[in-house]
Amino acid sequence: MRPENRTDYKVVESTRTLTGAKTWTVMVGGDIRVTTCNTPEHAYELAKNLNLDPYFLERGQTRADRIKAYDAYEKASVT
């Protein structure tokens, strides 16, 4: 199946038990929670990216990526 046609990840609106605040949950397969977002825009954007690339959340997790990000942070904090 072409990546733009995938609909595995869907957004479901829910409510927090303690506060009653609305949240949006990104689900896969109808019953597996991937993550919870506070805004619908962020939830729909994340679901779209996950439908295009199922490994979207795992990108940038290699040691080299973390070192590069830390070096950029150090450089920005010095100036």
pLDDT in tens, 18-71: 999 999 999 998 889 999 999 999 999 999 999 999 889 888 778 888 888 899
Question: Cα-atom radius of gyration of the chain, to the nearest Å?
Answer: 16
The 3-state DSSP class for residue 11 equals strand
Distances in whole angstroms, Cα of residue 31 to Cα of each of 8, 12, 18 = 11, 10, 22
Paired strand residues for 33: 27
pTM over 0.75: no
Paired strand residues for 35: 26
Q: Which of 67, 68, 69, 45 is nearest to 57 (CA)?
A: 45
How much is the pLDDT for 1?
66
